[in-house]
Each structure stands twice: as structure tokens, then as C-alpha cells.
Chains A and B, each alone.
Chain A
Amino acid sequence: MPEFPPRPTETEADALRRRRRGRNLALILTLVGLAVLFYAITVVKMMKP
């Protein structure tokens, strides 16, 4: 009986892993960027007289 969904080939599995890694990297960069931004905003707000 055929598998459903079909098992991806090695090349396709590599492509999947690459895309997921790209997504995860983008997410971590976004989170780090937001943390840096909020830190900078806090410093600026605290500097205000």
C-alpha cells in the first residue's frame, strides 16, 4: 500500500530542512532585534529630563 503523504526524497528533505532553518534564523534575528530596540528605547526614555 503506498504511503500517504509520500515520503520525501533525500534532496527534498534537505530543502525542507534548509527552509525551516531559514525561518528559525529569521525568527531569532527578529526577536534579538526587538530586544535591542526596546533596550535602546528604554535608555532614550530614561535620558529624557
Chain B
Amino acid sequence: MSDLTLPPNESDRGEQSPLSSHAVATEDDVRDWIALLKPRVMSLVVFTGLIGVLVAPGHLHPVLAFTAVLCIAVAAGACGAINMWYDRDIDAVMRRTANRPIPGGRIEAGGALGFGIVLAAGSVLVMGLMINLVAGAVLALSIGFYVFIYTMWLKRRTPQNIVIGGAAGAFPPVIGWAAVTGSVDLIPLILFAIVFIWTPPHFWSLALWANDDYRRAGVPMLPVVAGAKETRKQIVLYSLVLVPLTLVPWYLGFSHTIYGVSAVVLGLGFLACVWRVFTDKQDPTGVSLTNDAPARAAFKYSILYLFVLFAALAVDRLMG
């Protein structure tokens, strides 16, 4: 449930000026409350949660499956709202976030916090009472991890913020699986590991070209602290771990040819993308001479990669 898929220069709502002083400009509307939920981040979370439901052994009534995925979506939105409340100071100084509802002056910080807490508590209660306690507990754990470990503790303190904090975004397949089976087994933990290892190269590709934003906001992202060269190296290293890891469900016999071939082909594409990031034309300090075009391409490909990889797993399981 981490803040992973928002490219720079795209505000959540760009049509209103944050500087408007009149009451009309500062009056919130529905779109501001929806923007608090970070709907684009939510889409990936919902998708991986749905995959957890689809690939788990057993059967869950479609109404309950819908409820489980809805709870995951609402919890992700709650995390987004609480994150925007806590990060409103740094959001105000970053270009891509300066017009979010709180720094834009359209929603009060306390209102956003209350909104997030109500949604978080509601999603955990519904998941625990209507689906099962294990799924409710893992959902609560993921919210706690994102809010307390990532947002409040790690994000502003360490360049490894996104590595450890990425675990928060890796929970949805585990929650989806737990909703069906009432337990947490090896396979959902492997899916967790795949999203966990995928997060650093995905996010550092973004951080490479949004470097100035993070520096201005004082967020110790890896490119800010260790430089672009080191970041490119780390992207390659994590990708070299990621691609073999995606083949583990195939090795274990959990999936078959469709997934195996997809994982290999997609993985080779991923490695090609990160290799172009690594060999990007750069000055002696590591600053890109191509306006970080390979990093932008790698960021976009990484989103497609995870979507198609998990979709292939679901198709493979449903057809097998």
C-alpha cells in the first residue's frame, strides 16, 4: 500500500489553484476526498489482492470475494489519506504533490486524518467479522506497517525507506489468499517477496528523475543520499534477484507453462530496461544526459511487468 505509482508533474487534481484565497476555491468537493485515497496507487493494490483471492486454493462466494477486495481497497485508501495527513509539509514543497487536497488548502489536515482512521478501522472490522480473523489481522498489520513503520518512521530517516517500507505494498496478495483459506502459506509469502523485491527498482526508477523534488523536500531517497550511480547499481542488483524469484512458483509446481514462460519473457524485458538505466549516458557525477529517459521507461515497464506477471499467474491457475 505504498505510494509507488505516481509519476512527477502529475498532481492529483490539477484544475484548481492552491493559491486561491476565496472560500469557493478552498471548499472541498468529492474529488478531493477521492484524491486523498490515492486511487492510482489503489489500483495496483486492488489488483494484487484480487490475484491473491483468485490463485488461492478453495472457494469464496463472489459476494465475500468482492467484500474482501473492497476491504483491501478501502484500507489502501485509508493509508493514502493518513500518509497525506502526515506528509502534508513535504507534499507542499514537492511539485508533483503541491496541489494535493491538504497542501492545496481544500481539505483540513484533521479531516483527512479522521477520514483515514475511520476507513482503516472500518475495513479491518468488516474483513475480520465478515471474511475471517486471519485476513482481518493481516490487513491491520499492513495498515500499521505502512502508517507507523514506513510513513512515520522510515521515510524521512533512511535511504532504505522504500526497501523496508515496500513490504506494506506487498501484503495484498497475502490478504487475498488469507481471505479464501483463512491461513498464510508459502505461496502467498512468495508473492509477497516478489512485490517486496520489485518495489526498490520500481520506485528508484521514479526517484532518479524526481531527484530534485526529494532533495527539496529533504526526503533521503537513495539518489539524494548515495547519488544516481549507486542507485542505478542497486536497481540492477535488485532486478537480478527479482527475476529468478518470480520463477519460484513455477519451480514449486504451483503454476505451469503459461506463468513460467510469461515470467521468463517479462523478466528478460525487465532486465533489458534496467540495463539501459545502468548504461544511461551520464556525466562523471552520474547525472543523466538523456533527462533520465531510460529510468522513465523502466518505471513505466515495471508497472506493466507486475500487472502482466500476476495476471499470467491467475490465468495459469484458473486454466490449470
Contacts and interface: CB of A to CB of B under 8 A. Distances in A.
Given A12-B23, A12-B24, A44-B61, A23 B67 contact: no
A23 B111 CA distance: 14
Interface residues of B, number: 14
Q: Give the dominant DSSP class at B's interface.
A: helix
Contact of B30 (A8, A22, A41): A22
A35 interface: no
A37 B73 CA distance: 15
Contacts, number: 40
A25 B64 CA distance: 26
B215 to A, nearest CB: 36
Nearest to A24: B30
Contacts of B23: 5-6, 8, 12, 16
A25 B276 CA distance: 49
A24 to B, nearest CB: 9
Given A19-B28, A22-B30, A44 B22 contact: no
A12 B29 contact: no
A12 B30 CA distance: 17
B278 to A, nearest CB: 46
18 contacts: A5-B23, A8-B23, A19-B30, A22-B30, A23-B29, A23-B30, A23-B33, A25-B30, A26-B30, A37-B63, A37-B67, A37-B70, A41-B63, A41-B64, A41-B67, A41-B130, A43-B63, A44-B64
